[in-house]
Amino acid sequence: MTTATAQAHPNIAFIKYWGDLDPCLRIPSNGSLSMNLAGLETRTRVSFDVLLQGDHVTVNGQVMGGAGLERVSALLDRVREMACMRPFARVESENNFPMGAGIASSASAFAALALAASSAAGLSMSEQQLSRLARSGSGSACRSVPGGFVEWQAGQTDEESYAFSIAPAGHWDLVDCIVVVSQVHKPVGSTEGHALALTSPLQSARVADALRRLDLCRRAVCERDFEAFADIVELDSNLMHAVMITSTPPLLYWQPATVAVMRAVQDWRNGGLPVCYTIDAGPNVHILCPGEQADEVEERLQSIEGVQQVLMARPGGPAKLV
């Protein structure tokens, strides 16, 4: 039996991945850029065992079956093929953050799985190869392999589509205040959502302008220019939600409290506080601000009606073996 344990952080995208060029390989329609979230993590232990009759997966102690298990097995199959081995695996995964809090666990889960599984299989993979392997399980997981501030180069083939760090975690003290307004499980997940993107007449315009937004965001992060950063991050989030709302069927993830937080953040920024929002495929809102303003922003967020919980996360490191 061979075993390895790995740990990875989830990430928040500043420039979003929405829609696939190739849904099987998870080659995205556009490049994206994110920050890993320190303090939040998935820890995954993989053991290949000749005595197992099939892959056995638990997440936070619950046995996984159905489509979730198939998705994990598909990644394990890739590893078995690369390592020329046959045994099934026991996978035990734990998240230290609440599952219903609207923080995508698939990114940290598949990044940790890629590293633990490849290592347990005796493969020594480069960061780029690991990022590609993680991507096959969940697109955004490729961005949880490198550390800090990370760009996913879209590419057009499996070899070209991977993520790399543009700055380490210590580069910029940026804080993500994760505002939980609903713990209800989202009705349409990201995988289904990506497949609907092209039904929106706005997706082609969104994708056509994506390289420009990516360039502006990369520059703002590298120069720690919060003002430029805030403008481009909100524009990119709004564009993705415009596509979602105009898809067939339409995807409207926002709740009244989502909009209340968006409005408050806009008012605060107009009043001189450096702060901006970004929203993924769910009702919860990620509020970004420089570290010096984090306490003030947290306090203001707690006073908005409908806000259930605020989690704070600073830039996090790469996926690693533990």
- Per-residue DSSP letter, 53: S
Tell me how far, at minimum, the Cβ of 194 lies from ligand DP6, in Å: 6
Tell me how far, at minimum, the Cβ of 86 lies from ligand DP6, in Å: 27
Tokens of 107: 């990114």
| Closer of 32 and 119 to ligand DP6 (Cβ) | 32
Residues 215, 1: Cα–Cα separation, whole Å: 46
Residues 24, 263: Cα–Cα separation, whole Å: 38
| Closer of 47 and 261 to ligand DP6 (Cβ) | 261
| Closer of 7 and 161 to ligand DP6 (Cβ) | 161
- Quick one: which of 9, 26, 45, 132 contacts ligand DP6 (CB under 6 A)? 26
Buried b (16+ CB within 10 A) or exposed e, 225-235: ebeebbbbbbb
The helix (run of H) or strand (run of E) holding residue 239 is: helix 226-245
| Closer of 232 and 268 to ligand DP6 (Cβ) | 232
- Quick one: which of 190, 203, 247, 278 contacts ligand DP6 (CB under 6 A)? 190
Angle at CA of residue 128, ends 190 and 24, nearest 5°: 35
Query: Is residue 218 part of the contact set for ligand DP6 (CB under 6 A)?
Result: no
Query: Is residue 280 part of the contact set for ligand DP6 (CB under 6 A)?
Result: yes
Query: Is residue 9 part of the contact set for ligand DP6 (CB under 6 A)?
Result: no
Residues 261, 15: Cα–Cα separation, whole Å: 20
Site string for ligand DP6, 117-156 (x = CB under 6 A): ---------------------xxx----------------
Peptide bond into 249 cis (omega under 30): yes
Strands 88-95 vs 56-59: parallel, antiparallel or unpaired: parallel
- Quick one: which of 9, 16, 80, 213 contacts ligand DP6 (CB under 6 A)? 16
Query: Is residue 105 part of the contact set for ligand DP6 (CB under 6 A)?
Result: no
Buried b (16+ CB within 10 A) or exposed e, 82-96: ebeeebbbbbbbebe
Rounded to an integer, what is the distance from CA 321 to the centroid of its chain? 20
For residues 41-100, which are near ligand DP6 according to CB under 6 A?
Answer: none
How many residues interact with ligand DP6 (rule CB under 6 A)? 16
Tell me how far, at minimum, the Cβ of 152 lies from ligand DP6, in Å: 8
Tell me how far, at minimum, the Cβ of 95 lies from ligand DP6, in Å: 15
The residue range among 11-19, 39-47, 169-177, 247-255 that interacts with ligand DP6, by the rule CB under 6 A, is: 11-19
- Choose among 105, 66, 67, 109: nearest CA to 91: 109
Tell me how far, at minimum, the Cβ of 1 lies from ligand DP6, in Å: 30
| Closer of 189 and 274 to ligand DP6 (Cβ) | 189
User: Is 306:255 a contact under the CB 8 Å cutoff?
Assistant: yes
| Closer of 104 and 180 to ligand DP6 (Cβ) | 104
- Quick one: which of 40, 112, 115, 281 contacts ligand DP6 (CB under 6 A)? 281
Query: Is residue 247 part of the contact set for ligand DP6 (CB under 6 A)?
Result: no
Query: Is residue 32 part of the contact set for ligand DP6 (CB under 6 A)?
Result: yes
In sequence order, the β-bridge partners of residue 276 are 288
C-alpha torsion sign, points 113, 114, 115, 117: positive
Strands 88-95 vs 162-167: parallel, antiparallel or unpaired: unpaired
- Between the alpha carbon of residue 256 and those of residues 104, 127, 305, the distances in Å are 21, 41, 10
Query: Is residue 104 part of the contact set for ligand DP6 (CB under 6 A)?
Result: yes
Applying CB under 6 A, the residues found at the interface with ligand DP6 are 13, 16-18, 26, 32, 104, 106, 138-140, 190-191, 194, 280-281
